Structure 1
Amino acid sequence: MISIYILAGPTASGKSKTALKLAEKFNCEIINADSKQVYREIDIGTSKPSLEEYKKIPHHLFNICDLSQQYTALDYQRDAEKVIYEIHQRGKIPLVVGGTGLYLKALLHGFFEGPKAQPQLRVEIEEKIKNEGLLSVYHWLCKVDPDSAQKIKATDPVRIIRALEVYLVSGKLMSVLQKEHAFLKNNYQALQMGIEIDRDELYRRIDQRVLDMVKQGLEAEAKILFEKWPHSPILPKAIGYKEWMPYWKNEITEDEVIGLIQKNTRNYAKRQLTWFRNQEKINWVKNFDEVTLLIEKFRSG
């Protein structure tokens, strides 16, 4: 079984700098596990590695798709598996770095795919939403699969449609199929590490990082991208980009935009922390020395 290192944690916790030092010390290549850094062109707002850092250590799965594409956790699993195998063949250690929990979960344990999508059935459900409203279709899901409905927002048509599609195609509830899968398979011998950081310090870093991004030209980057990709499924949801939309309509000030980005990023970091805290196999570390000790212990068996 291939051995991999995973370095997880919330945004602005210092993962990237720690990963570079680790990669140099332990002969690693870095694999991205951030759901926004896979996209080309959204650079300032996603804090991607610098050109100098790219040159220093091989980086993978950064800038691999356009903003017109919807890159899923299943796409990530397939791409990451290929890259991990190639790194292993070169005699190096894959170091997976990021804060997107679902990417890491899919990579480590496989991904619940469910039955194949049925385009005609999907069209019929979409037509039902159009005629009766999304809430009505959500109530339908609540009746047939209350467990799945509990985990899905009533305003999320993509996941509502998929849960109903799974039920109608397979005759089984998505919640039951997911429990059967249960993410029990172990694909790799993985050392999972999480960067532990004081919450006040994390929030201070986030607020400062947003100010730095604005100075680097975040607003100009956002404007160019919204004009270039007006139908992007990614930009209207991306923190650091979506907040400028009311500013361009003269509805809020630049200071209010900055405050919104800071607040949304802090909330996102809080959700990341909650998710990672619920993962039992993560070893929490406070500094580089603790990471080094963990890896050396892991390597010695």
Structure 2
Amino acid sequence: MKNNYLLNVIGPTAIGKTSLAIKLAKKFNTEIISADSRQFYKEMSIGTAVPSAEELQVAKHHFIQHISIEDSYNVGDFETEAIQKLEELFQNNNFAIMVGGSGLYTKSILHGLDYFPEVPSETRQDLNKKFEKEGIAPLQEQLKKLDPEYYKIADVENPQRVIRALEVAIVSEKPYSSYLNQPKKQRNFIPVNIGLDADREIIYERINRRVDLMMKEGLLEEAENLFSKRQLNALNTVGYKELFRFLEGKDSLETAVSEIKKNTRRFAKRQLTWFRKDTDIHWFNFKTTGKEIQQFIETKIKDYED
């Protein structure tokens, strides 16, 4: 009986993951699981760099714009649904592709989620009220104090992540990071982890260009359409929250665009900090051809099969 393989493409934002994933999907005649949590939402397209209609036609993607910003959806829901989808895909093919820059979502599929203590709803409500009244900064400072290790790798601009880490630390009186990296769950596939990388200057330049392109494609109009729902957690994310400040008259458009670039660069840095801790990732320069990476994968698989 042949092994099942999950070809997992990771890396910082704007590095070219989608393009590589599509090449691999064509080569191995299979489909793609998206593990980019920002691309789950139907109402968000331009600001989340959702694959184009042409790209979606070339290779079938799952978990792209499949829920609404008003839906309640978390990494546990994604783990359950994505594992089920992979089981379906493996019935017809020994290969599947996963692509994304959301480290926690990728981890949930490869190794399963860690166990965390139950949190009373009152604790979460108190933290949410604090966020609504005082913003994200005091919560970030509290997290930095209670769990400096997690603070270094967390997406601290994401209030959901910050509040989640804080509520666990407060209730258990132990750092959130102490619950991470528990024994891995057994999966019915072997992961082959492919990382794309580049010099920091190149990554930042690609991010800046992408943001400029998003603005040309209508990101401001997309933000205007979502402005009335800006209080939703899904919209408190880079590319939208900065433009909401402009629409509220708090910043100029030039400042908002500059902040999007800066916050996206910070996000890319955190992504790389997360992924570089994983010694199972095989890193390639972003200019490496799809053919070279395919050859590496085939050699790796041959080692498993022999």
TM-score, normalised relative to structure 1: 0.82
Q: Give the C-alpha shift of residue 24 in structure 1.
A: 0.7
Paired residue for 1:197?
198
Pairing 1:4-83 to 2, within 5 Å after superposition: 4-83=6-85
Contact 1:114 1:177 in 2 (8 A): no
* Partners of 2:123 and 2:38 in 1: CA distance: 31
Amino acid at match of 1:24: K
Paired residue for 1:232?
232
- In the alignment, does 2:167 pair up with 1:161? yes
Amino acid at match of 1:161: E
Q: Give the C-alpha shift of residue 191 in structure 1.
A: 0.3
Contact 2:223 2:244 in 1 (8 A): no
Distance 1:274 1:157, change over 3 A: closer
- Once the two structures are overlaid, the 10-residue window that deviates more, 59-68 or 156-165, is 156-165
Contact 1:126 1:161 in 2 (8 A): no
* Partners of 1:255 and 1:194 in 2: CA distance: 33
Question: Over residues 247-295 of structure 1, what are the superposed CA-to-partner deviations in whole Å (9 max), with x where a residue is unaligned?
Answer: 1233322222111111111111111112111111000112123311221
Amino acid at match of 1:280: T
Pairing 1:75-154 to 2, within 5 Å after superposition: 75-91=77-93, 93-116=95-118, 121-123=120-122, 126=125, 151=150
- In the alignment, does 2:280 pair up with 1:278? no
- Once the two structures are overlaid, the 10-residue window that deviates more, 215-224 or 195-204, is 195-204
Amino acid at match of 1:283: H
* Partners of 1:283 and 1:225 in 2: CA distance: 39
How many positions carry a matched residue from both structures?
Answer: 281
Question: Over residues 183-227 of structure 1, what are the superposed CA-to-partner deviations in whole Å (9 max), with x where a residue is unaligned?
Answer: 433423110010122221211111111111001110010110122
Amino acid at match of 1:266: R
Contact 2:116 2:168 in 1 (8 A): no
Contact 1:35 1:100 in 2 (8 A): yes
Q: Give the C-alpha shift of residue 75 in structure 1.
A: 1.6
Distance 1:206 1:116, change over 3 A: same
Q: Give the C-alpha shift of residue 240 in structure 1.
A: 0.8
* Partners of 1:76 and 1:221 in 2: CA distance: 25
Amino acid at match of 1:182: Q
Q: The residue matched to 2:97 in structure 1 has which SS?
A: strand
Distance 1:244 1:129, change over 3 A: closer
Q: Give the C-alpha shift of residue 124 in structure 1.
A: 6.4
Aligned-residue Cα RMSD (Å) equals: 3.0
Q: The residue matched to 1:36 in structure 2 has which SS?
A: helix
Distance 1:89 1:220, change over 3 A: same
Q: Give the C-alpha shift of residue 245 in structure 1.
A: 2.0
* Partners of 1:125 and 1:79 in 2: CA distance: 25
Q: Give the C-alpha shift of residue 175 in structure 1.
A: 5.5
Distance 1:259 1:126, change over 3 A: closer
Amino acid at match of 1:255: E
Amino acid at match of 2:222: E
Q: Give the C-alpha shift of residue 298 in structure 1.
A: 2.4
Contact 1:70 1:234 in 2 (8 A): no
Q: Please say which structure displays the higher CA radius of gyration.
A: 1
Amino acid at match of 2:165: R
Contact 2:12 2:101 in 1 (8 A): yes
- In the alignment, does 2:218 pair up with 1:206? no
Contact 1:36 1:46 in 2 (8 A): yes
Paired residue for 1:216?
217
Distance 1:88 1:215, change over 3 A: same
Q: The residue matched to 2:37 in structure 1 has which SS?
A: coil
TM-score, normalised relative to structure 2: 0.81
* Partners of 1:129 and 1:6 in 2: CA distance: 34
Contact 1:30 1:57 in 2 (8 A): yes
* Partners of 1:175 and 1:224 in 2: CA distance: 36
Q: Percent identity?
A: 32
